[in-house]
Amino acid sequence: MRPTTTMATSKLFSSIAGSSSLPQPIIDPSTGEEVIDLDEKLKDKRVALYFTAGWCPMCTSFEPALMSFQQNAKDAGKPIELIYISSDRNEETNIKRASQLNMYTVPFGDQTAELKKKYKIWAGSETFQFGFGRRSGVPAIVVLDKTGEELAFVAAESQGAKALATWPLDEALGIWGTKN
């Protein structure tokens, strides 16, 4: 059964492993179910929110570079877990795109809206809904530290694939499940 998408803002972020937090629930698009044992699945990984839309040509042209970057990081022993934050038009497209990209996602609706407001990232077509005060459109990446707070911003909309060079892969605070 799909989790509800009308969760209050105060419940959007839940405690995971004590001090860390992520948007909740996190959905595995291959099953449509909430990810259980998230701590274990994220252990020793770098975690980031990927703001994107399947209808966005800039996003779809950026994704091959992102997937290559993710694979190269994994090959170097620095695995990355991306969480798909959708500006797609509906939940079906959200789940389909997250599945195609092999990314976890959050339920379409209130959770995605709250994340867009929190990080001030949304598609230009969402300006009527969210206003003009954004720092970026899509695609964009927010790299999280191991407590779920923003560690770095990867400005893919304005810089394209070269923005991936700003990702702090070696920053210990960005490796989940470590004690540093």
Q: Does any domain span residue 158?
A: yes
Count of C-beta atoms within a 10 Å radius of residue 5 = 14
Q: Does any domain span residue 93?
A: yes
Strands 140-144 and 46-52: antiparallel
Q: Does any domain span residue 1?
A: no
Predicted TM-score (pTM) of this structure: 0.88
Number of domains in the chain: 1
* CA–centroid distance for 68 within its chain: 17
pLDDT of residue 21: 67
Q: Does any domain span residue 121?
A: yes
pLDDT of residue 54: 96
Query: Smallest Cα–Cα separation from 126: which of 23, 56, 63, 62?
Result: 56
Q: Does any domain span residue 179?
A: no
Answer left, alpha or beta for residue 44, where phi above 0 means left and psi between -120 and 50 means alpha. left
pLDDT of residue 24: 84
In tens digits, the chain (180 residues) has pLDDT values of: 333 333 333 344 443 333 246 888 899 998 989 998 888 899 999 999 999 999 999 999 999 999 999 999 999 999 999 999 999 999 999 999 999 999 999 988 898 999 999 999 999 999 999 999 999 999 999 999 988 899 999 999 999 999 999 999 999 999 998 765
Q: Does any domain span residue 47?
A: yes
Tell me whether the omega of the peptide bond preceding residue 139 falls within 30 degrees of 0, making it cis. yes
CATH number at residue 57: 3.40.30.10
Q: Which residue range is the domain that position 14 belongs to?
A: 9-174
